Amino acid sequence: MAETPRERQTDSGITINPLYTAETLGTFDPATALGAPGQQPYTRGIYPTMHRDRLWTMRQYAGFGSAADTNQRFKFLLEAGQTGLSCAFDLPTQMGYDSDHARSAGEVGKVGVAIDSLDDMRTLLADLPLDKVTTSMTINSTAAILLLMYELVAEERGVPSTAISGTIQNDLLKEYIARGTYVYPPKPSMRIITNIFEYCSKNVPKWNTISISGYHIREAGSTAVQELAFTLSNAIAYVQAAIDAGLDVDDIGPRLSFFWNGHNNFFEEVAKFRASRRMWHDIMTNRFGAKKEASKLMRFHTQTGGSTLTAQQPLNNVVRVAVQSMAAVLGGTQSLHTNGYDEALGLPTEDAARIALRTQQIIAHESGVPDTADPLAGSYFIESLTNEMEKEAGQIIDTIQKMGGSVAAIEQGYMQDEIAASAYRFQQQLEKKEKIIVGVNQFIQKEESKIPILKIDESIRSKQTERLNQLKAKRNNQQCATCLEQIKKNALEGSNLMPAVIAAVENYCTLGEIADTLRKVFGEHQ
């Protein structure tokens, strides 16, 4: 008796047919659904020639220990051929605590670099070509403080604020949904974000003021469809908040960027990237009435999936990262970070970071993939999957909008519950071996290979505390107190916080002191 063929699905649960034909697409019209690369609805990419004439930015994520340690890693990566900087900050910096705070114990420099003051930012950026590279900073609650530190250091180096370019993540909504490094409640957090939008539109015009992140939503356990839907819902909330604050959609639209995860289900990931561009074009055109084409372009960074990396047989992660990177490039990413094979065990060593970068370089220069724009277009399977992801993500967005939008949905726990349910289903599938993870639930090795692990200097907290003590001894503490009082005044009055914060940073108020001042006004989100 013949065995009944099992149903195949993507990781989002979309059924995969045994064969796709022209009939599968039905009334699909390539002229309207695809267009040409660089033309609306931008399904095929936001630039006419995509990677043929200009490769994506190879932006390896780095940050650990002290500012000096991370500065050396930046230089190492630039010498190895990296074309953009990307900085991770430690947990105290993300949460608005100085290194000497009691809550910082055991966390200083562990998952990123410790930045307490303008002096630390100077050290972090020492001798780096800030006029030639773009810099991405993965920072949210304290994004305003870190951005202004960066701006001041650049100006000291002779690079005006109008010339610097890069991105701050600045996406607090996904923190409430998936990650947890929030400080203030949602409403004041949204206010700070719109303050940044307004400030940068006037003072730092080339800076991307937000990177709306699906990455961390996916890391928390969402499906690809949920990653797409929740992220675009959050984007709608940010644009609406900016408009409500009196900003013009075409002033902020061109400076919005996105941050996607790259997972192993190759075709689903390619379809996700393509669907995201088409959906964003529709949202900005029809929902918000944007007029500038630059406002309708979804520009995005991709990072390969951290949650897909395995501690078991870690060298297998090299292959996983290559598959994910290829999907990102074929999906039309503007920049890419490739994870080190050892990141399920610790921060990447130099060797692991180099291999990760080489993965991008091999795709760029040896695979032929960048030679033409959107080479998978017209595939019956790809187009069908792109359409299905757009439809299913759109249905979720509609549900969220009926709830009152992302902020209301977060307050009701909708997105958090949906992600938890997806993560649970995935774990069940692993345990039942309905999904195979090589080296984890199949093809297991009794003897695991040993690989070197990067160790963080445990003395970093005491060294940072000493730096802080020296800083506070030499600065004008009365002037600092005045600056912090002005931040409090602006916060209470409802005026833009950025001018007061930059004055505080310039006078050597610490990141923790500024964050604490805002805590006293806004409170903390529980």
Whether 231 and 137 map to the same domain: the answer is yes
The average pLDDT across 47-54 equals: 96
Integer Cα distance of 427 and 306 in angstroms? 16
Give residue 502's domain range. 475-522
Establish if 67 belongs to a structural domain. Answer: yes
Are both 417 and 491 inside the same structural domain? no
What CATH number corresponds to the domain at position 307? 3.20.20.240
Query: At residue 227, does pLDDT exceed 70?
Result: yes
Q: Is the pLDDT of residue 129 over 50?
A: yes
Per-residue pLDDT, averaged over 199-220, amounts to 96
Q: Is residue 367 part of a domain?
A: yes
* Mean pLDDT on 308-320: 97
User: Do residues 225 and 320 share a domain?
Assistant: yes
Per-residue pLDDT of 370-409, as tens digits, reads 999 999 999 999 999 999 999 999 999 999 999 999 999 9
pLDDT at 448 over 90: no
Q: How confident is the model at residue 6 (pLDDT cuts 50, 70, 90)?
A: confident
pLDDT (tens digit per residue) in 336-382: 999 999 999 999 999 999 999 999 999 999 999 999 999 999 999 99
Residue 179 carries which side chain, given as an amino acid letter?
A: R
For residue 190, tell me if it sits in a domain: yes
**DSSP letters along 123-185, please?**
HHTTT--TTTS-EEEE-STTHHHHHHHHHHHHHHTT--TTT--EEE----HHIIIII----S-
- The answer on pLDDT for 524 being more than 90 is yes
pTM of the model: 0.95
pLDDT digits (tens, 9 = 90+) for 482-503: 999 999 999 999 999 999 999 9
| Whether residue 499 sits in one domain with residue 418 | no
Is residue 440, in this structure, part of any structural domain at all? no
427 lies in the same domain as 482: no
Look at the chain and report how many structural domains it folds into.
2
The percent of residues above 90 in pLDDT, for the chain, comes to 96
Question: Does 10 map to a domain?
Answer: no
157 and 243 belong to one structural domain: yes
Determine if residue 420 is left, alpha or beta; phi over 0 gives left, psi from -120 to 50 gives alpha, anything else beta.
Answer: alpha
Instruction: Say if residue 354 is in the same domain as residue 264.
Output: yes
Query: Higher confidence at residue 457 or residue 273?
Result: 273
How many Cα atoms occupy the beta-carbon half-sphere of 140 within 13 Å?
24
153 within 8 A of 118, measured Cβ to Cβ: yes
- Domain end residue (candidates: 368, 401, 431): 431
The answer, yes or no, to whether residue 3 has pLDDT greater than 60, is no
User: Backbone phi, then psi, for 507, in 5-degree steps?
Assistant: -95, 15
Q: Long-range contacts: 482-487, Cβ < 8 Å, 24+?
A: 483/507, 483/509, 484/509, 484/513, 484/514, 484/517, 487/514, 487/517, 487/518
Q: What is the pLDDT of residue 4?
A: 58
> Is residue 518 in a domain?
yes
Same domain, 378 and 257: yes
pLDDT score recorded for residue 145: 98
Residue 482, domain member (yes or no): yes
Residue 514: half-sphere exposure toward Cβ, Cα within 13 Å: 33
Which residues neighbour 412 within 8 Å (Cβ) at sequence distance 6 or greater? 403
Do residues 219 and 307 touch, judged by C-beta distance below 8 A?
Answer: yes
Cα-based distances in Å from 300 to 158, 173, 331, 351: 29, 18, 10, 27
Q: What is the DSSP letter of 286?
A: I
User: Tokens 């790809």 appear where?
Assistant: 382
Paired sense of beta strands 15-16 and 8-9, if any? antiparallel
Question: What does the pLDDT look like over 84-124, one tens digit per residue?
Answer: 999 999 999 999 999 999 999 999 999 999 999 999 999 99
252 in the same domain as 140: yes
Domain boundary among 378, 402, 431: 431
Dig out the tokens for 157 from the structure: 């180096």
Please check whether residues 492 and 381 belong to one and the same domain.
no
pLDDT of residue 5: 65
Measured CA to CA, the distance from residue 82 to residue 76 in angstroms comes to 9
Residue 446's pLDDT band (cuts 50, 70, 90): confident
Secondary structure of residue 57 in the 3-state scheme: strand
- Confidence label for 134 from pLDDT (cuts 50, 70 and 90): very high
Tell me, yes or no, whether 154 lies in a domain: yes
List pLDDT tens digits, range 63-75: 999 999 999 999 9
Percent of the chain surpassing pLDDT 70: 99
Residue 447 banded pLDDT, cuts 50, 70, 90: confident
Mean of per-residue pLDDT scores for the chain: 96
Q: Same structural domain for residues 427 and 479?
A: no
Give the per-residue pLDDT at 1: 45
Mean pLDDT of 1-26: 86
Single out the residue in 401, 431, 461 at which a domain terminates.
431
